[in-house]
Amino acid sequence: MLEPISIGSYTNSRLVFERLNNELAVLQSEGFPFDIDIDMVGEITFMDCLLYHKEGFSVEDTFNTIKFSIANCLAEIIVEEWETLLIRKIVRDNFYYYNDEEKQAILNKAKSILNPTGLNPYHQHQRKEKVKNKILDYLEPQKHLVVEGFISFRLKDYQKELENIVNSAVDELLMEKEYLEFIRLLKYFVEIQEPRIRKVQVIFKQSGKFSLLDEENKVIKHECLEGLMVDMLESETNYEDLLISALITLAPQELVLHKELDVETGDAIKTIQNVFGNRVVNCSGCKKCRGKN
């Protein structure tokens, strides 16, 4: 029998045992025999993984194969199960002055940053690999690992990464809150003023600029826009801000949005739709969208 590897836990020992048992069962089906003995030391449940030499493998290769499997299993447990607990603790400790609903929003936002749908800069697999390598390094000289202690004292970088994610989540939530307040004020401005024009057509151009046409497809040169355009063009205001300000000034009854091919509009269309609501119509494709006014 090879030197056993002992894994302990005092908060979720049943989960650790089940996952370890399933992981090692796969190896057993490949000819790596093992047993798991359960020992209690105070409040800690230790799972002693008893390893046996596989015929045709060197002792070192047998041990390393099983050690790798255990490290992979523990990394999955930490990232898939403990990660949420760690984030929750960071939120509780660093943002204790937020109410329960806000803390839950921070937790949800942090989890969505860590594991978004599609492209993921903090891919879960990458985090697992980092944690697994830390476990393998630890098990090189040591044969006893307590999961909670290992997380607290050996995964400082991982915890710092999670803390940075939580900070980013808080920043995003604050920006979202500011955006919603901004939208609320713009909607108020639109609602309290009389429409100065019945219909405005916005054409988002490939150049990054835009055109404003009336219902007769004529360029809008409304007197109320003249001062606004001069003031804003002399400042560093970008075209999207200029467009939103112009539309709010005109407060049209109907607003039709056209996009030339492959045009990136940033948040402009989202903002327009949020502010003007059911006044907005998105063109499904016409001559204006093809650059043929």
pLDDT per position as a tens digit, 63-88: 889 999 999 999 999 999 999 999 99
Residues 6+ apart with CB under 8 A from 101: none
Domains of the chain: 5-183 (no CATH), 199-282 (3.30.420)
The region that residue 160 occupies, defined by phi over 0 for left and psi between -120 and 50 for alpha, beta otherwise, is alpha
Check pLDDT > 80 for residue 151.
yes
Contact 177, 229 (CB under 8 A): no
The region that residue 241 occupies, defined by phi over 0 for left and psi between -120 and 50 for alpha, beta otherwise, is alpha
pLDDT, residue 119, reads: 54
Report the amino acid identity of residue 85: L
pLDDT, residue 221, reads: 75
From the list 89, 87, 92, 77, the residue with the least C-alpha distance to 13 is: 77
Report the amino acid identity of residue 242: L
Q: How many CB atoms lie within 10 A of CB 26?
A: 11
* Token duo for residue 196: 């100065």
pLDDT (average), residues 83-112: 96
Burial of 285: CB neighbours in 10 Å, binned 0-12, 13-18, 19+: exposed
Distance, CA of 141 to CA of 143 (rounded, Å):
7
pLDDT, residue 76, reads: 94
pLDDT, residue 232, reads: 44
* Token duo for residue 138: 């630890």
DSSP codes joined into one string, 184-224: HHHHHHHHHS--S-SEEEEEE-TTS-EEEE-TTSPBP--HH
Instruction: Give the range among 113-127, 138-152, 242-256 with minimum mean pLDDT.
Output: 113-127
Please give the helix or strand (H or E) that residue 165 lies within, else none. Answer: helix 156-192
User: Given pLDDT bands bounded at 50, 70 and 90, which one contains residue 273?
Assistant: very high
From the list 66, 76, 55, 74, the residue with the least C-alpha distance to 4 is: 66
Distance, CA of 283 to CA of 99 (rounded, Å):
43
pLDDT, residue 279, reads: 94
Helix axes 147-154, 156-192, angle to 10 degrees: 80
pLDDT, residue 292, reads: 67
pLDDT per position as a tens digit, 194-244: 888 999 999 888 877 788 888 998 888 765 565 554 454 444 456 778 888
pLDDT (average), residues 25-31: 87
Average confidence score pLDDT of the chain: 87
Name the pTM for this structure: 0.81
In DSSP terms, 219 is beta-bridged to 213
Burial of 5: CB neighbours in 10 Å, binned 0-12, 13-18, 19+: buried
Q: What are phi and psi of 50, to 5 degrees?
A: -90, 120
Distance, CA of 124 to CA of 113 (rounded, Å):
11
Give the C-alpha distances (Å, rounded to integers) separating 245 from 154, 250, 263.
53, 9, 21
